[in-house]
């Protein structure tokens, strides 16, 4: 059984377990956490010599009785059904983060442009790129942790890792340009850019390949 088949089987198991529970952000995060734990247990049982089907059954047994969680999520789903998704404090904080991120990026762009037309050295101009790095990172995190009418918010830790990957990529560009103008050597600029680019791309690809579907079922 491939990893994709195991992922689908685990997801189907928890979808069935919580089938009569109203959708909510809390339910989405709980199912994501339970699925991760179960897949880890399946991998552990398989490493002990069990086949896929036996490992899956043992993992289900090891998760124990989850009826209490189902009842808790049912109550939360009933309460959340009465609330607008855009009226929560989390949504307002996310909106503020998105706005702040965009403003930081624009500030960095305008500042660099302004200094470009002033008698300043190139290094002073590129220094404003740090605002673009910070703004892009904040914008990414805030956007991913925002719940919408079509998608649940991403887990905060995972969203933070995505933001970190974008921040590393932006910082790679920033350090590459800054190194080029501070040293005058292109190979130093490429080396500086390469280090952070590899880390950023590696983290981003890992997150993309291990992500879960956040779309709400209609």
Domain assignments of the chain as residue spans, ordered by start: 3-80, 85-209
Q: In angstroms, rounded to a whole number, what is the distance separating the alpha carbons of residues 102 and 91?
A: 17
3-state helix, strand, coil in the chain (%, to 5): 75, 0, 20
* pTM attached to this predicted model: 0.64
What sign does the dihedral 91-94-100-102 (CA atoms) show? negative
pLDDT digits (tens, 9 = 90+) for 163-213: 999 999 999 999 998 888 888 889 888 998 999 999 999 999 999 888 777
State which H helix or E strand residue 118 sits in: none
Using the predicted structure, report yes or no on whether residue 75 has a pLDDT greater than 60. Answer: yes
Phi, psi of 26 (to 5 degrees): -65, -40
Phi, psi of 121 (to 5 degrees): -75, 165
| Percent of the chain with pLDDT strictly greater than 70 | 90
Using the predicted structure, report yes or no on whether residue 44 has a pLDDT greater than 70. Answer: yes
Residues whose CB falls within 8 Å of the CB of residue 23, separated by 6 or more in sequence, listed in order: 77, 80, 216, 217
Q: In angstroms, rounded to a whole number, what is the distance separating the alpha carbons of residues 28 and 213?
A: 10
């Amino acid at each position: 059984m491939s990893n994709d088949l195991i992922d689908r089987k685990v997801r189907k198991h928890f979808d069935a377990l919580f089938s009569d529970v109203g959708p909510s952000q809390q339910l989405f995060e709980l199912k994501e956490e339970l699925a991760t734990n179960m897949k880890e247990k399946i991998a552990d049982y398989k490493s002990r010599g069990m086949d896929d089907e036996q490992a899956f059954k043992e993992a289900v047994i090891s998760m124990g009785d989850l009826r209490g969680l189902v009842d808790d999520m049912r109550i939360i789903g009933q309460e959340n059904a009465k609330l607008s998704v855009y009226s929560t404090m989390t949504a307002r904080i996310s909106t503020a983060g998105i706005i702040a991120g965009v403003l930081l990026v624009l500030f960095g762009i305008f500042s660099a442009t302004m200094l470009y037309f002033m008698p300043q050295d190139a290094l002073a101009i590129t220094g404003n790129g740090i605002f673009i790095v910070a703004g892009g990172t904040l914008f990414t995190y805030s956007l991913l942790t925002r719940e919408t009418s079509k998608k649940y918010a991403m887990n905060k830790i995972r969203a933070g890792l995505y933001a970190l990957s974008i921040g590393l990529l932006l910082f790679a560009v920033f350090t590459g340009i800054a190194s080029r103008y501070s040293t005058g050597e292109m190979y130093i600029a490429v080396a500086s850019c390469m280090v952070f680019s590899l880390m950023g791309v590696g983290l981003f690809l890992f997150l993309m390949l291990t992500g879960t579907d956040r779309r709400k079922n209609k």
